[in-house]
Amino acid sequence: MTGAGIPFNIGDVFPNFTAQTTFGPIDFHKWISGTWAVLFSHPADYTPVCTTEMVRLVKLLPEFVTRDCKVIALSIDSVESHKGWIEDILKVAEKPSLDFPVIADESREIAYKLNMLDKDELGKDGIPLTCRAVYIIDDRQKLRASICYPATTGRNFDEILRVIDSLQLTDKHSVATPADWKDGDACMVLPTVKQEDVAKLFPAGVEVIPVPSGKTYLRKTPQP
Ligand code: BEZ
């Protein structure tokens, strides 16, 4: 089972699915229920990089909660296997509980549907494992960002929080966040903002960076 399942892209309503999880069965859309959510897929339980990622997620969960963002993980093993693996994760994380569900996708049905299979990474059964997909979904169930890593590259969770910060900020204000932006840094005024509206929209001021073309598209403003 490889290739693409349902075609979906940024801006589309994220495909719904039902799943068995460590918290019992879920209907994904009902589980999201009006908050942001991040779905993280993992190649397999009891593997080194996945374990470091799960430890990081357990420790970072309050940061996702602060952003009104639920977390859900997926791996291709059973609920029973997940429960055993979670004991290892909690021991390494030095935390008492793992407070987000982990989906059991033994048949890869969900991974296939959501385009998360990596044909270059095969499990013991010869079936492709899941890649390290990150799907960031907003409170209207729309896919807002997707990042995909191979099994051999662990994810950068600070980057994922940074993307959520950027999405939530730029939903509220007429700005975009520049390269390497972090919460609190200056932002760029959207190209669609007319010069006559700048003063009203950005009372903290706007700096226009001069460029040889003479165009005034590089407009910087303190983070609203
Ligand atoms: C890991 O999590 O360490 C891993 C899983 C599958 C393939 C390679 C690495």
48 lines ligand 1 (CB under 6 A): yes
43 lines ligand 1 (CB under 6 A): yes
SS3 67: coil
pLDDT tens digits, the chain, 224 residues: what are they?
555 677 889 999 999 999 999 999 999 999 999 999 999 999 999 999 999 999 999 999 999 999 999 999 999 999 999 999 999 999 999 999 999 999 999 999 999 999 999 988 888 888 889 999 999 999 999 999 999 999 999 999 999 999 999 999 999 999 999 999 999 999 999 999 999 999 999 999 999 999 999 999 999 999 99
151 lines ligand 1 (CB under 6 A): yes
**How high is the pLDDT of residue 8?**
87
| Superfamily of domain 173-221 in the CATH hierarchy | Antioxidant, Horf6; Chain A, domain2 (3.30.1020.10)
**How high is the pLDDT of residue 152?**
94
**How high is the pLDDT of residue 176?**
98
Question: Domain limits of the chain?
Answer: 18-156, 173-221
* Residue 96, amino acid: P
**How high is the pLDDT of residue 94?**
98
Judge whether 164 and 38 are in contact, CB under 8 Å: yes
The alpha carbon of residue 56 and the mean position of all alpha carbons in its chain are separated, in whole angstroms, by 14
Q: Which CATH class is domain 18-156?
A: alpha beta
**How high is the pLDDT of residue 1?**
53
52 lines ligand 1 (CB under 6 A): no
Global pTM? 0.95
What's the 43 CA to ligand 1 centre distance in angstroms? 6
**How high is the pLDDT of residue 76?**
94
The phi, psi pair for 107, rounded to 5°, reads: -80, -10
47 lines ligand 1 (CB under 6 A): yes
121 lines ligand 1 (CB under 6 A): yes
- Residue 205 is encoded by which pair of tokens? 């001021």
- Residue 27 is encoded by which pair of tokens? 């209907």
What's the 131 CA to ligand 1 centre distance in angstroms? 9
For the CA atoms of 200, 206, 211, 216, what is the dihedral angle to 10 degrees?
-10
**How high is the pLDDT of residue 35?**
98
Nearest ligand 1 atom, CA 48: 3
Judge whether 74 and 102 are in contact, CB under 8 Å: yes
- β-pairing verdict for 143-149 and 132-137: antiparallel
* Residue 111, amino acid: A
- β-pairing verdict for 128-130 and 18-21: unpaired
Nearest ligand 1 atom, CA 51: 2
> Please, is 160 exposed, middle or buried when counting C-beta atoms within 10 Å of its C-beta (0-12, 13-18, 19+)?
buried
**How high is the pLDDT of residue 3?**
54
